[in-house]
Amino acid sequence: MGPLDWDPGSLAVDPDPHATLAWVRSGGSVRPLTSSFWVVTGHAAALEVLRHPDVRSAPVGDVYASLLPPGAARDEMAHRINFLDPPDHPRVRGLVSTAFTPRRVHAVRPWVEDTARRLLDGIEARLDRLDGTVDLLAEFAHQVPSLVISELLGVPAEDRDELTAFSDAVSPLLSVRVDPDDLAAAVAAAESFHRYLAALVEDRRERPGDDLLSALCVAEEHGERLSMPELLSLTATLYSAGHRTTRDLVTNGLAALLEDPDRYRRVVDGSWSVTDTVGEFLRTQTPTLYVARVTATDCEFDGTAVPAGAPVLVFLAAANRDPAVHAEPDEFAPGRDGPQPLSFAFGAHYCLGANLARLEAEVMLASVCERWPDLEQAEVPTWHQRGPFRGVDRLLVRPR
């Protein structure tokens, strides 16, 4: 079979991307495209790519950086942790891990629970004015992770909206194709974002607190520290990775639950545990559709030879619905047998925030179910895809 004439960018306007990815997979789990990209849609192949010692991330960052003028946006791409390879990657990841400890994540749970409760109280108090319907994305699912990552990093809560706007403006840079207007806005936003973060770093260096940024400023392993460009890129990455995908996980997942009222009821009455349900959110509503890699040598994935220098898109969303590992893969079935979802990737770049994201999603889902056992969707949501990130535009619901 020759290369497939398919544009992965077309998924952004595809009403049913999962059906399209299943169609791509039906011709093989690892396939070349006419554009020179390779796409991986099978579970076994995705695991092989993500743990292969001759598969690189840095060339992906280099391509993104090369499209940008010198400045903050380019620095951010060049130093972004998920685009680093050894020896930089283990050094930077090791330093972040000393600051971003499981203890720090565990300790934040009561704060997350309290924040979720306060936000739901606020919505309830305004329900009359909101005409009985509320956008749970804007009013809740965005607020919780953005407050949590601000609190963890030690970003003043009043600066949150500004930083969210910067990070949203920078995010199109992670697309294969960037609209020229978005590019100009992203470059400008990255300058402002880094200027803000540099001032915050200076402040923490003079007056260290009990926050993650202070810990990152002093993190040291084997006499190594993070350079200023690394620290700025990492903080910007943590800020954006810390809220967008978690928001999308919860809203995409709630949209799937509310599509069929019986599903929502099963979580409310405990037939489906919150943990299993969030696991199924991750598997079926994967917020990061794909990750990108480049082969450094001739490789073989799931029996298919891929030449050196090939850009490879690993579709986590498709691997999660591979019928070779999940029976009835499109069914929403919390507690099902089978491997853990690959939504946080796998191997050296496995998501550093996975435990935090699961914790936040579980607290948010449990809080909503407890507060509104008869919650209903008020409209069928529309979806967007920006770069690899897929989510609903808003989640209009009727709390009851």
Other CB atoms within 10 A of residue 146 CB: 23
Phi then psi for residue 94, to 5 deg, are -60, -40
Q: Tell me which stretch binds ligand HEM (CB under 6 A): 41-49, 219-227, 342-350, 391-399.
A: 342-350
Residues 17-36: x where in contact with ligand HEM by CB under 6 A, - otherwise, as a string: --------------------
Q: Do 288 and 251 contact (CB within 8 A), yes or no?
A: no
Closer to ligand HEM at the Cβ: 86 or 373? Answer: 86
Does position 233 bind ligand HEM by CB under 6 A?
no
Q: Which of 25, 93, 160, 390 binds ligand HEM (CB under 6 A)?
A: 93
Task: Check: CB of residue 212 under 8 Å from CB of residue 152.
Answer: yes
* DSSP-derived pairing of the beta strands 311-315 and 38-40: parallel
State which residue, 364 or 378, has the beta carbon closest to ligand HEM. Answer: 364
Residue number, 57 or 143, with CB nearest to ligand HEM: 57
When binding is defined by CB under 6 A, the residue of 41, 82, 214, 284 that contacts ligand HEM is: 82
Asked if residue 95 binds ligand HEM (CB under 6 A), the reply is: no
Kindly state whether residue 226 participates in binding ligand HEM, applying the rule CB under 6 A. no
> Which of positions 292-331 make contact with ligand HEM (CB under 6 A)?
none
Backbone angles phi, psi at 229, to 5 degrees: -60, -35
**Shortest separation between residue 400's beta carbon and ligand HEM, angstroms:** 27
Nearer to ligand HEM, 108 or 378 (CB): 108
Distance CA 209, CA 217 (A): 11
Please report how close the Cβ of residue 219 comes to ligand HEM at its closest, in angstroms: 14
Nearer to ligand HEM, 14 or 151 (CB): 151
Q: How far is the CB of 324 from ligand HEM (least distance, A)?
A: 21
Separation CA 122–CA 131 (nearest Å): 15
The rounded distance, in Å, linking the Cα atoms of 161 and 141 is 14
Q: Using CB under 6 A, pick the residue from 6, 37, 166, 344 that binds ligand HEM.
A: 344
Residue number of the CB closest to ligand HEM reads 353
Asked if 353 is part of the footprint of ligand HEM (rule: CB under 6 A), the reply reads yes
Peptide bond into 3 cis (omega under 30): no
Closest among 304, 306, 366 to 36, alpha carbons compared: 306
Tokens of 370: 């407890």
Q: List the one residue from 29, 146, 245, 285 that touches ligand HEM (CB under 6 A).
A: 245
Q: Which stretch binds ligand HEM (CB under 6 A): 112-120, 241-249, 329-337, 368-376?
A: 241-249
Answer yes or no whether residue 56 interacts with ligand HEM by CB under 6 A.
no
237 is an interface residue for ligand HEM by CB under 6 A: yes
- Least Å from the CB of residue 131 to ligand HEM: 31
> What are the C-alpha distances in Å from 392 to residues 221, 263, 311, 341?
41, 19, 28, 20
Long-range contacts from 382-388, C-beta under 8 angstroms, 24+ separation: 384/12, 385/11, 385/12, 385/17, 385/289, 386/12, 386/171, 386/172, 386/174, 386/175, 387/171, 387/172, 387/173, 387/174, 387/175, 387/176, 388/174, 388/288, 388/289, 388/290, 388/291, 388/292
Q: Which stretch binds ligand HEM (CB under 6 A): 17-25, 61-69, 258-266, 341-349?
A: 341-349
Residue 253 to residues 136, 281, 287, 320, Cα–Cα distance (Å): 12, 5, 10, 15
Among 68, 78, 231, 238, binds ligand HEM (CB under 6 A): 238
Q: Smaller CB distance to ligand HEM: residue 254 or 345? A: 345
343 lies in the site for ligand HEM, by CB under 6 A? yes
What is the three-class DSSP state of 150?
helix
Considering only CA atoms, which of 50, 22, 23 is closest in space to residue 342?
A: 50
Task: Give the x-and-dash track for 268-287 against ligand HEM (CB under 6 A).
Answer: -------------------x
d(CA 307, CA 296): 9
**Does residue number 235 form part of the binding site for ligand HEM (CB under 6 A)?**
no
Residues that bind ligand HEM (CB under 6 A): 57, 81-82, 93, 149, 237-238, 241-242, 245-246, 249, 287-288, 291, 343-345, 349, 351-353, 356-357
